[in-house]
Amino acid sequence: MTTASSELLTVPEVMARLKLGRTKVYDLIRTRRLVSIKVDGCRRIPDTALRAFIRGQMGEAA
């Protein structure tokens, strides 16, 4: 069983995983290419959304 902390990622965690800057991650969120939610004003990205984004990018590259 996974915990909520491993299912919901912070923007800095996504930045580290994608090796992208803060502005680019927020741009992906703003353009709805990367799904996110707000929890009490804090932006969180579901781990499944990050994996779906990566799969989609790999599909576009193929």
Residue that the structure tokens 């929890």 belong to: 39
43-62 tens-digit pLDDT: 999 999 999 999 999 988 77
Instruction: Average the pLDDT over 13-42 and give the result.
Output: 97
b vs e for 2-31, b when ≥16 Cβ sit within 10 Å of the residue's Cβ?
eeeeeebbebebbbeebeeeeeebbebbee
Residue 34: its H or E element: none
What's the confidence (pLDDT) of residue 3?
Answer: 59
Q: 4-56 — its CATH code? A: 1.10.10
Q: Are 14 and 45 in contact (CB under 8 A)?
A: yes
Distances, alpha carbon 20 to alpha carbons 9, 10, 25, 26, 29, in Å: 15, 13, 7, 10, 13
Residue 2 has pLDDT above 70, yes or no: no
